[in-house]
Amino acid sequence: PFLLSLLQGVADMGGGGTRREITTQTDDDTGNGVLSLRLAQIDEMHERAVETERLAPLRDAEARMASFQKECETRLRLEMEEQVRRVRDHEIGQARLEEASKHRRQITQAREELERVHAERLRKLRAREESQTERVRAAETSLERAAYDHRQRLPAA
């Protein structure tokens, strides 16, 4: 509305019947070539800017994917280290249990061997004691007979 009224006012001031013609030269090779070249450069710059803007979300997505991949790799590395630690702890525990079991078996075998040796010595000592006891009894019996015989001979003499 304002622009139309302004144009109408300018048209009214210029006079009603006078008419002017103006021409423009457009076939100048020197100016036109430079202008075309400049317009082509501007178009190319614009296309590059549009392409850059179009690829920007992809670069952002690539950056996010790279960040996510690093995070996943870090998480995977930590999980693997944890699993390795658990396996090592388990293997160490198993090795300790196996060593403890091996030592218990060795101690049991040593104890059984010592008990067997002790029982054998005890059997030999008891046999020796019994043999000694039999000799002492035989000697006592012999001594008692000798004493009896001696007593029997004394009153007769």
Give the separation between CA 129 and CA 133, rounded to whole angstroms: 6
Give me the pLDDT at residue 29, please.
Answer: 55
Give the separation between CA 125 and CA 145, rounded to whole angstroms: 29
Match 């139309």 to its residue by tokens: 4
- Which residue type does 130 have? E
Rounded mean pLDDT of the chain? Answer: 86
Residue 38 or 113, more confident? 113
Match 């430079």 to its residue by tokens: 34
Average pLDDT over residues 83-97: 96
Average pLDDT over residues 140-156: 86
Exposed, middle or buried by CB within 10 Å (0-12, 13-18, 19+), for 26?
exposed
| Long-range Cβ contact pairs of 48-53 (< 8 A, separation 24 or more) | none
Residue 132 or 54, more confident? 132
Give me the pLDDT at residue 120, please.
Answer: 96
Residue 114 or 38, more confident? 114
- Asked if 26 contacts 32 with a C-beta cutoff of 8 angstroms, the reply is yes
Residue 21 or 41, more confident? 41
Alpha-carbon torsion, ordered 118, 121, 125, 128, to 10 deg = 160
The distance in angstroms from the start CA to the end CA of the chain is 184
Closest Cα to residue 45, out of 33, 53, 34, 57?
A: 53
Average pLDDT over residues 102-124: 97
Average pLDDT over residues 43-59: 81
Prediction pTM value: 0.41
Average pLDDT over residues 13-33: 61
